[in-house]
Copies of this chain bind each other. A is one copy, B any other.
Amino acid sequence: MLLIEKVLLLRASEIFWQTPEQELVELAGILEEIYLEPGVTLFAKGDPGTCMYFIFKGKIRVHDGGYALAVLEENDFVGELSILDAESRSASATTAEESILLKLEQEPFYDIMMNNAEVLKGILKTLCRRLRIMDAKSVTSQKASETNPLAL
């Protein structure tokens, strides 16, 4: 893969869409290319998590035992929370077809993030946006379940 392809993949992801090009080039340089057959376990629920993966080609099934949580495709990524908080995996991930992934390890990622306010701010914005979206959903479902608005 070309460096520019890696940069474009990072740029297309929600987590790095606000990161300046120069920092993306630096991040792209530390990505490891991985080629996997279908049915390979990327990680299992409960595993320690110290890396994340960007999907260049293929499909990844995210599941909790037999419960499918998501099927991720090109330009998606998986395992992003563990790279940020180093907690164990909250779900399993398995290749659903032949896949090419880019692996980002926690340590070099943290080094870049700690030395670059723009990378950090982009990631904080992304996490906050997700929380805002989830908060808004919970407000919407609260409103929908109420016959009378609650005015405390």
Contacts and interface: CB of A to CB of B under 8 A. Distances in A.
Interface string A113-152: 0100100100111011111101110010011000001111
Interface stretch (A1-9, A23-31, A34-42, A59-67): A59-67
Contact of A68 (B61, B66, B128, B151): B151
Contacts of A132: 81, 87, 90
Contacts of A120: 114, 120
Main secondary structure of the interface of A (DSSP, over half): helix
A134 B132 CA distance: 11
**How many copies of the polypeptide does the oligomer hold?**
2
Interface residues of A, number: 39
A78 to B, nearest CB: 13
Interface in A90-128: 90-91, 96, 110, 114, 117, 120, 123-125, 127-128
B67 A149 contact: yes
Q: Which of A67, A96, A120, A132 is most buried by chain B, counting CB atoms within 10 A of its CB?
A: A67
A84 interface: yes
Nearest to A117: B114
Nearest to A69: B139
Interface of A: 61, 63-69, 71, 81, 84-85, 87, 90-91, 96, 110, 114, 117, 120, 123-125, 127-132, 134-136, 139, 142-143, 149-152
